Amino acid sequence: MTLSTDLQRPLSEANNKLPSAVKASHATSLHELGAELVYTQEVSGRYLSFYWQQAERYGISAAESETIEAADAQAYQQRVQQIVETKIPERFSCRFRYKEQLFKFDLVVSPILQPDGIATKVLVMGSQSQDLEGDEAAKARQNCGISCNSADYQKLLTTIARNIRRTLDLDTIRQQTVDGLGKALHVSRCIITPYKKSDREVRVVAEYCQEQCPSLMGKTLALKDDPYLTKALATLGTVVEAPQDTCQQQSSRLVVATYYKKEPNGLISLYQCGRHEWEAAEIELVREIAEQVGTAIAHATLYEELKEARQQAEESSRLKSEFLANTSHELRTPLNGMIGFLKLILEGMAEGPEEQQEFIQEAYRSALHLLNIINDILDIAKIEAGKMELELGSVKLKELFDRVDDFARTQAQQKNLSLRFQLPSAHDDVIVYGNYQRLLQVLFNLVGNAIKFTHEGGVTITAEVQKKKVLFKDQELPGMVVVRVADTGIGVSLEKQDRLFQKFTQVDGGLNRKYGGTGLGLTISQKLVETMGGQVNFYSMGEGLGSTVTFTVPLYQEPLIVSSK
């Protein structure tokens, strides 16, 4: 558009001889300066004159021409007010509406100065932009006016950003983002997919979608199959995809990565049917919103992590309090037993040496039970403090099994339970790499639990050699031994099994009070086995269906296994 230099400076009514209400004929003469659209207007928005050369082409009569108005009237009026106040002409683009049609014009708006230097009117000259013609394009862009002026752009940016910053809920942030961008840019679809480093695919978790296009909500997108997504993640910028056939018509896509401290944490994708290009202002808006969304997502994620950590700390504190209450009962029971039996002896209540010896034996057993509880508490304290260190060496598996047999055989017989041990068939001893006392402690705990929670049937302890080289503490060892302790006892329901190895947690407080114990055994056994390079696992098909606990320990040397054939 070619404009006179004089029209790019404030106009003086005195110098230009313009009356208070410029007539349409005068506006027509201004068209000769190179503008196809010329009008004058008061700050209030009322036209004083209006001339558009192409009006009749769109079926707009001269009488109807003054019904043409800015698509975003408020933003346009703010811009005019700014020009009148600063008395400085401005050049910008703006969309105008006539009924269902939209027209875009490149404008130069100049203030009309009165003799006293005050401006209350503007002279507007412009020409029609060619990137918006036809009813379909007009309808698709009817609600999009961000390129109208910078005030409109900033208003839209501020509105969307404010909504995002009002909450720390991730789902709300994402949904408000897609809704805000989708409605502001009048796109066919806007989606958000979260992203974490090394993700190979992303899933749609929030979507704004118009009725004519099918929803993508919940759909998984493979990054390797979409170069536009990978490019946006790599550059942390906006990527525009060439038009494709979708939604039964040509469609283009705008992709931008959300990020925080230069690390991507999501992707925003906007789709527009019936459109080939994205304006620079729209791309810049999406880029700025993506940056703010990335920061909001990072803050919300941190808030969720802190909230979860707080909940875990509160739960841990509650469990510790519950554990201390239960443990105090467990400590008092054997202690009261010791005091009671010793008092009977001191007061001469025993009827003969045999009964006195029986009282002493009971006090001794109570003392051992008390010692075991105290050892459990000390062990868990060491584990909590990270000071559980073990001296490892060669341990014969048969010696371990024999000691456990001596310890548990009487307990099993008292309950009429079978107790079977089965070692691997080998020509030589099966030797494992671990700590003898701690392995014995693990077996005592597992076998003792199996007997305690079994009322009929029995307990079976087996071992299996797995010859597969493993690396532990910079040593290459020839394999692992898997030890299984299986019982036909009360079992554990499937929903409670995940609590078995939690510190200070009892699967069923009622059961522990009924059977006795602190509930620390499995947790301590797990930590001890892990310190020796193995793993502990628990299996049960449900209540009343028995249980199997397995643990692994590295082989010290490879045994010569006897073939089963």
The domain segmentation of the chain, as residue ranges, is 5-142, 152-306, 389-565
437, two tokens: 């006392």
8 Å CB contact between 293 and 177: yes
Q: State the Cα–Cα distance between residues 540 and 548, nearest whole angstrom.
A: 6
* CATH number given to 5-142: 3.30.450.20
Q: Closest Cα to residue 8, out of 80, 109, 84? A: 109
Higher per-residue pLDDT: 25 or 457: 457
Burial group, residue 361, by CB count within 10 angstroms (0-12, 13-18, 19+)? exposed
139: pLDDT strictly greater than 60: no
Query: What digits encode the pLDDT tens for the residues 219-267?
Result: 999 999 999 999 999 998 888 886 655 444 557 889 999 998 889 999 9
User: What is the CATH topology of the domain spanning 152-306?
Assistant: Beta-Lactamase (3.30.450)
Residue-averaged pLDDT of the chain: 80
CA separation, residue 251 to residues 244, 282, 421, 433 (Å): 5, 16, 72, 66
What local confidence, expressed as pLDDT, does residue 166 receive? 78
- Residue with tokens 């909230």, as numbered in its chain: 307
268, two tokens: 């925003």
Q: E strands, 28-100, where?
A: 37-42, 47-52, 69-70, 90-98
What local confidence, expressed as pLDDT, does residue 551 receive? 95
Q: Could you tell me how many helices (H) and strands (E) the chain has, helices first?
A: 13, 23
Q: Which helix (H) or strand (E) holds 504?
A: none
Residues with Cβ < 8 Å from 353, sequence gap 6 or more? Answer: none
DSSP letters of 275-299?
A: -----HHHHHHHHHHHHHHHHHHHH
What local confidence, expressed as pLDDT, does residue 323 receive? 65
What local confidence, expressed as pLDDT, does residue 27 receive? 43
Which amino acid is present at 220?
A: T
Residues with Cβ < 8 Å from 361, sequence gap 6 or more? Answer: none
21: pLDDT strictly greater than 60: no
Mean pLDDT, range 116-131, rounded to an integer:
83
Q: How confident is the model at residue 275 (pLDDT cuts 50, 70, 90)?
A: low
Share of the chain above pLDDT 70, in %: 81
CA separation, residue 354 to residues 345, 362, 368, 400 (Å): 12, 12, 21, 34
- Residue with tokens 């683009």, as numbered in its chain: 93
Half-sphere exposure of 198 (CA within 13 A, CB side): 0
Query: What digits encode the pLDDT tens for the residues 530-560?
Result: 989 999 999 888 888 899 999 999 999 888 7
Q: State the Cα–Cα distance between residues 74 and 145, nearest whole angstrom.
A: 11
Give exposure, 216-240, as e/b (b: 16+ Cβ within 10 Å): beeeebebeebebbbebbeebebbe
8 Å CB contact between 468 and 517: no
Cα angle value 137/138/144 (rounded, 5°): 100
Q: How many CB atoms lie within 10 A of CB 135?
A: 10
Give the pTM.
Answer: 0.44
- Residue with tokens 């509650």, as numbered in its chain: 318
* Paired residues of 49 in beta bridges: 40
Could you check whether 5-142 and 152-306 share the same CATH topology?
yes
Higher per-residue pLDDT: 382 or 319: 382
Q: State the Cα–Cα distance between residues 184 and 203, nearest whole angstrom.
A: 24
Ramachandran area for residue 373 (φ above 0: left; ψ -120 to 50: alpha; else beta) = alpha
Q: State the Cα–Cα distance between residues 101 and 103, nearest whole angstrom.
A: 7
Length of the chain: 565
Q: What is the DSSP letter of 494?
A: G
205: pLDDT strictly greater than 90: yes
Which amino acid is present at 314?
A: E
8 Å CB contact between 184 and 72: no
DSSP letters of 308-346?
A: HHHHHHHHHHHHHHHHHHHHHHHHHHHHHHHHHHHHHHH
φ, ψ of residue 416 to 5 degrees: the values are 60, 40
- Indicate the range of 72-86, 253-267, 478-492 predicted with least confidence: 72-86
* Paired residues of 434 in beta bridges: 393
What local confidence, expressed as pLDDT, does residue 455 receive? 92
Which one of 3.30.499.10, 3.30.565.10, 3.40.50.720, 3.40.50.2000 gives the CATH number of domain 389-565?
3.30.565.10
Q: State the Cα–Cα distance between residues 450 and 539, nearest whole angstrom.
A: 13
Mean pLDDT, range 199-220, rounded to an integer:
90
Cα angle value 131/236/255 (rounded, 5°): 40
8 Å CB contact between 518 and 372: no
Q: How many CB atoms lie within 10 A of CB 210?
A: 14
Q: State the Cα–Cα distance between residues 540 and 523, nearest whole angstrom.
A: 17
φ, ψ of residue 22 to 5 degrees: the values are -70, 130
- Residue with tokens 């006016």, as numbered in its chain: 145
